[in-house]
Amino acid sequence: MEKSKRTFRGSYPAYALTYFFFYWSLGVFTSVLSMYLTGIGKSKAEMSFIMSASSLFGVVLIPIVGYINDKLRKPRLICTVMMACVAVFGILFALVRETMLLFLLNGCIMGFISSLSPVSERMATSTKYRYGTIRIWGTFGYAAAVQVACAMMEFTSPQLIFVSVSVSAVLAIVGFLGTDDISFTDTEAAKAAAGKQFSFLCAPMYILFVIIGFIFSGCSNLN
């Protein structure tokens, strides 16, 4: 048993499992969400309100989770706790119909997944494997999830979509627990850079990027 654990920790299958099901959770939840909300009788205004939660919660949660990760330096623990929350919230999302509850659950699910994306990217760049060979499993997971979600929407109960979110979140946890530790180094250069971490806010190119990103993302989400 002990030998099996050592073999799984830091192995390529552990990372493949992590990224496949982490992005599966994202793809299966978002791909048909608007159709699901329409199917349960939500108006266009209610649907827009519910789906706006993902961006609003993400703006708040992403920097908070990043700060917590920098302080605790336990990315596996953070990923495990937050994906466990995603698993629970996925089941609840399939059960509730109240607009405000759907808004809160959607915000929490998408906010948690979005806030873990930088952590997962850091994991991928800290492994002994090439980044592309790890990250491509996220692409496969997302693409497969979209196809499966559409099939579930067409041929089964739509609630199963959110059950699959919970299942994929649990499998992603198994993968996260099998990843290697991320090394954190407190170099003098890093400390000096931390003192200037907000200097980019005055950079003209950054401001231009924010404006373009705001317009593009807003139009994309509106569509």
DSSP state of 199: G
pLDDT attached to residue 212: 87
Spell out a b/e string for 29-60, using b for 16 or more CB atoms within 10 Å of the CB, else e: bbbbbeebbeeeebeeebbebbbebbeebbee
Amino acid identity, position 11: S
Q: Which residue has the tokens 């693409």?
A: 143
pLDDT attached to residue 184: 59
CA pair distance 34, 24, nearest whole angstrom: 17
pLDDT attached to residue 188: 47
What digits encode the pLDDT tens for the residues 123-177? 878 788 888 888 899 999 999 999 999 999 888 888 899 999 999 999 999 988 8
What digits encode the pLDDT tens for the residues 32-53? 888 899 888 998 899 989 988 8
Q: Rounded to two decimals, what is the model's pTM?
A: 0.78
pLDDT attached to residue 1: 42
Contact 143, 90 (CB under 8 A): no
Contact 159, 96 (CB under 8 A): no
Contact 215, 112 (CB under 8 A): no
